[in-house]
Structure 1
Amino acid sequence: MRWDRFFEDLEDQLDSEWEAERAALDSEAERLRLARLGLRDRLRSLCTVDGPQISVELLAGAGVRGRLGAVGADWVGVIAPDERAGVALLPLAAVVSFGMPQPDLLRSARADAATAAPTTLRERMTLGFVLRDVARRRMPVAVQLCDGRTLTGTIDRALADHLDLALHDGAEPRRAGAVSGMRMIPLAAVEAVRLERMYFDV
């Protein structure tokens, strides 16, 4: 009888040690997974049709609210709460923080795409590439600069590290007579590019 109890106690002790060891291994695996999880991976997991409303704080103190519409190589696209209000293209270098409800924050940390390479062409596009497309479409834009000013007009050209902006009233199409000036703007000085029309079909 005592031997039975002895072996039962021994089995219970071995089970407890095994559970403790497995929990330690699970914790270490989770720490390693989180160490490999990048910001773009977490943002990509929030970029869905029914994704959360987020608030994005920018360097100059301005903010953008809406739903993530796209995640690119070095930028994100935020769709305004009223989708007719358009989108904002934000360089990641100009973002201070992303705010969202805690359940969505925790869900993004459980993203399975921790080490996955970008899967779509959009995820590999740089901001310059997207701005060249905006220039090709002749879409009116509002370019928000890091010093807090906003310039409206049409991007004539988006080059390697800067863009040429024709200044005019954003409500008017770009015509020679409507252009009040030209600006050459380094991309590093751009905090946001706002487009009136929807740009993403997410």
Structure 2
Amino acid sequence: MFPEVIETDRLRLERCSRERVSPRTLYEVASDRSPTIDAETAYLPWEPLDTLADAADRLAAFERQWEERERAEWVVRPRTGEPDAGEFAGTAGLLCQWEKDLALLAVWLRQPFWGRRYSGERADALLEVAFDRLDVGVAAVPIHGDNDRSRRAVERYIDRHGGRYEGLLRNHAGRYDEPADHHRFSVSREEWREADGARTAVRYPDGT
């Protein structure tokens, strides 16, 4: 159902599973062993990993959610020709709420890869997956109320695809055990199709 591999001009997204990512690799980049992890997760709904076993459990959870068609998670890697080609740059996700005809876009980028506009290129690809492959009616992006940097990035690509800003939802979600406000952006399948000039070239090299 979900493509195992997605390629754009500058990025390669690969299914986030134990077949493609070792627990050790995930632990090294998503735990306190990474000196930039606190900045990267400041506005995310998950804490840095504590142990290698936690990394294995997270990968297993991604695999289970993939098979149950609840969530697709991919590792983001720069393609050949980009700085740090092949490195683990972060993860990208689609959370499917089928009963609402809705997909939520998620991203975590490691700090060395900030400022390259990878988030927007990743979003372009995931919107195509959501609308062309999954036939979802609406895709939405929730942003922590204090995350101004991500909000600016989301504004750019949502506007490019004909979407809109819906407003600030107070105490809409939690970060760890604390309530958090969310800015919410969305784009419908019809809006996206009308703005088709904004699409990026997306390829599925493994044929899935």
Task: Say whether the fold is shared (TM-score over 0.5).
Answer: no
Shorter-chain TM-score tier: under 0.3
* Higher relative contact order (Cα pairs below 8 Å, separated by 6+ residues): 2
TM-score (ref. length: structure 1): 0.26
TM-score (ref. length: structure 2): 0.26
- State the structure with more CA Rg: 1
